[in-house]
Structure 1
């Protein structure tokens, strides 16, 4: 094999194995040719090496039989670094070029992806690609970065996550145009001095390292919008962190924090704050965080939730307090008029204020509390049932309420099997747990001129939806048909155009009618424990959907492109289905706050990723989208 042309600048330590690689065994000439035209080169997951030694295992690991002298073999072939320097191979072979393929008019490489290989080092030849704006080398075996990285002055995104870095070269602070820096899942113990010089940095992820402190100089990162310092060994946060005037997303999960500096409450731009899995005993107050939308303080040791903690959270949408030591919830919880998701699970709460029923909650978690004032069967029916129960207790405490109910019930003896109290007081048409195959006409007759917002026909033996349900189309917003024997959905249901919540779990359904597209207000649908083999296509065309629960079916695929268009979707439960693979493009569904995938037969993402939660899953998937 002949020595390649243009060896000037080649690493003299590379030996002859590098020349064999440059011949194109690891990097096809077609890829290099396309990269010269597009300025982008993707070599992800190619097992780059100098020779054929070493088998890649099923999971991408190097075989244990790799000889000792091959420890140097996991380097990048020279043809990549010299792509804009050397004459292309096709030119050396005297091939003719069309006007569109003239190699001397090639585009400088601006995007290089080397992720998911076994690279142990990068050479200083990195400087031969000064036009790079994106360098992605995540998921390798790198223990250091070359000092030549300082010469990539145009670099805007650098992803070195999932490697073995123990230190960062100080030269990295020379990358003044850097906007995104991803260093998660390494072995870093400190941040180099001068880091504040990265004043254009907008997104910084240094999670899952071994950091014990955050430099006070971070306050100078005035452009930073997102900072992830989770899963380190931080015992405190510097007061200066409040100087990040543009910071919207701060993730401090899984550290050793016992307190947070009061100055944190003055960060006016903060929208998302994660403090889960720390050692907090007190919930911070946030007098200046008027834009705070999500506060996650689960898995701490917080004992008290008082009015002072709630009164400033005017914009809060999500409040996660699970796995703490709370004993009560104050009546002032009603101040949170924007709250949509409240997680109180696994605390020591014995009762809830009835005023909680006034909140516009879409999700309320109460499991693991010694509640004495709400029956378990009500909690098991879900959020809306709990809220209705709490609202009913407010009404029951009002004057003469019980007298009016008794009088009405006495005037309707023929409808004694119908819960008239629920119709009049709670606006619920309830005929559940009767094990009947048909809903009697007297149930619908009992409605008369009353306003009905909810229908509960669960726990019966219904094989079809009663046709008279269409009589309620102008008012009903909540329908529960769970635990029946429905094998199809009738068109009458599709006419309930005010419907926002639909529970169809535990039936025999394997499809939904296209006419459900007319449910233009539907926000939540529960299809768990049915017989679906695909996610029903009609769901993609209901733009108002916020929650899709379709666990315990046989779903084998989802369409990530259609899913991305569902801008309001925040919860997707696909647990215990038949998904053999998760499309990486699902990572683009950035609006998802809850994505549940456990219990499927896919191999990746692995369980360790799933345990880290939705944000980690979406990031993992995005990193694997082919370019």
Structure 2
């Protein structure tokens, strides 16, 4: 009888043999580390660091024990000391005291593990410059870290720290310190000794106060204490003369001290507090500000001295108790974005607020006394009689007003043409703003070309334009272009020459994709493209717009939001509601731009 053949095993070749260890590190990785001085064992589900790691520069490699000394291809003894060790994203619960054998180590990254303590041997790592122990389970600040006197960068965020002792003050070379997302209720006064720290993040803790000694941190440029319970900011904060960015959102501040010496402060974020006023004296010390965020407070008045902030570009006043704004704000030429939602405004109509910053500023200027408005010396008189009305019956404009305000408002006249005498007066007055909205134009009026030397703002919204004339590229000084409510499906490539363009409105058109020329407008700050038929988001394109602060893509046909959009950290206001995508969920969108961008970054596959 013929012998039976053994049954085939379909899993043959894929089964783990008894001698295999899924957590073993291949010898070739250690071999490469001896040459480069860097060892990366991240994301390997390690529960214990292999002993070979600690003795990588001591023991003879197993594969080299039988190698002849004549073999010049593998001189294991001519190795490089390990200087960089990455053990991130594993399941480590402890590190061996044998780490002291890695005396040349300068970078140690052990973030995203399960460590509850650090070995005391870390104090012997005299060359350690960068330590990342974030996203672990540390409940106490490891005292051994304070002996690493060469440390420049320390990340210990996302742990369970409840206290930091005075030993933190021994890290005199530290330049970056992140202790955010812990359970801290106070900071030690000794933190003031860290005079070289330029970035300090203490956000998302339970801090009720800040030590006055923070005012001694002369090198501080960035400070974030968002999401704490701070009710008083020490007056010593005003001594931080190099401070550039100050984040104090989501606290319990009722009063802001005078930041008298903060001469380099560019961004001040005070949203979601209990502030009732921002005085003229405050503003007189903040002349360098470009971003001021006081949203969700109880401020009822903005002082006239707001105009001393000549570099202010973005002002967020959302959800306060404001009933009006100083008319002089209309003259703030650098101001490009004002957000007023959620205020009981009485002196500014809702429809004006809805039109955006440019219209708000124009309205404020129009409300100023004539004596306060600079008047051009070049008076232009019409040949149409004493009244100075030009432009034809029923559609006339006042020549004197055009020259005085440097603006031509030819809106809502139900016309498709502008008479030559209007352009003649406009040219003589060297006007910088033209409003042709709410008419029947199908193209840019040919006569307007005479203004290309001066024109900065052009409103062609609510017309019948289906194709934008390439001549738009000739208006190289444009800073604002409004094309909303037309029938556009594309923009001409000639727009690339609009190097100064900061605001672009293309809402309520028929775009199915973002015009590629938009990504060439490097100074663009505000882009409104809502209510179109756009299907995709080009994250790389928006990443290439370094000044972009507002991006509105609401009510389109976007079915997917790329996680890479989270890398566009320059965006302060991102609107994506009313699209077809399911992720991010509405609950994520409701948390605001910062939370949305952080969520998107967390979805990036490394």
TM-score with structure 2 setting the length: 0.82
| Aligned-residue offset at 1:473 | 0.9
1:374 corresponds to: 348
Q: For 1:414, what is the secondary structure of its paired residue?
A: coil
Which deviates more from structure 2 when the two are superposed, residues 262-271 or residues 415-424? 415-424
Is this contact kept in 2: 1:429–1:455, CA < 8 A?
yes
Distance 1:30-1:139 versus aligned 2 partners, 3 A rule: same
Asked if 1:491 corresponds to 2:488, the answer is: no
Residue 291 of structure 1: aligned partner: 264
Matched, 1:365 2:339: yes
8 A contact 1:531–1:554 mirrored in 2: no
Q: Which deviations, in whole Å up to 9, do the C-alpha atoms of 1:523-555 show, x marking residues without a partner?
A: 333445666676655444444334445566333
Distance 1:288 1:100, change over 3 A: farther
SS of residue paired to 2:184: coil
2:10 is matched with which residue?
A: none
Q: Deviations over 1:195-232 (max 9, x none)?
A: 11100011111111111111001111121111111221
> Corresponding residue for 1:559?
540
Following the alignment from structure 1 to structure 2, what is the Cα–Cα distance between the partners of residues 460 and 239? 60
What secondary structure, in the 3-state scheme, does the structure 2 residue paired with 1:217 have? Answer: helix
Q: Are 2:562 and 1:581 aligned?
A: yes
Aligned to 1:327: 300
Task: State the distance in 2 between where 1:614 and 1:464 align.
Answer: 39
1:411 to 1:559, Cα distance in 2 relative to 1, 3 A: closer
Residue 84 of structure 1 and its aligned partner are, at CA, apart by: 3.7
Alpha-carbon distance change, 272 to 420 in structure 1, aligned in 2, over 3 angstroms: same
What's the RMSD between the two structures over aligned residues? Answer: 4.0
Which whole-Å CA distance do the structure 2 matches of 1:17 and 1:172 have between them?
41
Deviation at 1:453, TM superposition (A): 1.4
SS of aligned partner of 1:309 = helix
Distance 1:207 1:361, change over 3 A: same
Distance 2:135 2:589 in 1: 12
Q: Distance in 2 between matches of 1:527 and 1:83?
A: 61
Matches of 1:47 and 1:157, distance apart in 2: 22
1:342 aligns with 2:307: no
Asked if the contact 2:161/2:183 (under 8 Å) is kept, the reply is: yes
Query: Secondary structure of the residue that 1:583 maps to in structure 2?
Result: helix
Partner of 1:414: 392
CA contact (8 A) 2:427 2:451 kept: no
Structure-1 residue corresponding to 2:238: 265
Q: Is the contact made by 2:252 and 2:273 (CA closer than 8 Å) also made in structure 1?
A: yes
Gaps of 5+ in 2: 1-16, 376-380
Pair 1:394-2:368 in alignment: yes
Shift in CA distance, 488/244, structure 1 to aligned 2, threshold 3 Å: same
Q: Secondary structure at the match of 1:492?
A: helix
Output the CA distance in 1 between the equivalents of 2:495 and 2:230.
Answer: 49
Please, which of 233, 248, 257 is the counterpart of residue 275 of structure 1? 248
CA distance in 1, matches of 2:487, 2:75: 62
Taking the aligned partners of 1:563 and 1:179, their CA distance within structure 2 comes to 29
Of residues 28, 45, 48 in structure 2, which corresponds to 1:48? 45
CA contact (8 A) 1:22 1:78 kept: no
SS class of match (1:521): coil
CA distance in 2, matches of 1:545, 1:625: 29
Taking a change above 3 Å as real, the CA distance of residues 129 and 506 of structure 1, as seen in their structure-2 partners, is: farther
1:523-602 alignment runs, 5 A limit: 523-527=502-506, 536-550=515-529, 553-559=534-540, 563=543, 569-571=547-549, 573=551, 577=558, 579-583=560-564, 587=567, 592=570, 594=572, 596=574
CA distance in 1, matches of 2:31, 2:467: 55
Deviations 1:263-297 (A, max 9, x none): 22122222222221111112221222222222211
Question: Are the aligned partners of 2:166 and 2:191 in contact in 1 as well (CA < 8 Å)?
Answer: no
> 1:431 Cα deviation (Å)?
4.0
Three-state SS of the structure 2 residue aligned to 1:596 is strand
Rate the CA distance shift 1:293–1:413 in 2: closer, same or farther, 3 A. Answer: closer
**Cα distance in 1, alignment partners of residues 530 and 27 from structure 2:** 46
Report the CA distance shift for 1:471/1:188 in structure 2 as closer, same or farther (over 3 A).
same
Contact 1:211–1:232 (CA<8 Å) still a contact in 2?
yes
In the TM superposition, 1:430-441 aligns within 5 A as 430-432=409-411, 438-441=416-419
Tell whether the 8 Å contact from 1:467 to 1:492 is kept in structure 2 after alignment: no
Deviation at 1:126, TM superposition (A): 3.0
Residue 429 of structure 1 is matched in structure 2 by 408
If the length of structure 1 is used for normalisation, what is the TM-score?
0.79
Q: Can you list the C-alpha shifts for 1:53-95, whole angstroms capped at 9, x where unaligned?
A: xxxxxxxxxxxxxxxxxxxxx3334444444445556647969
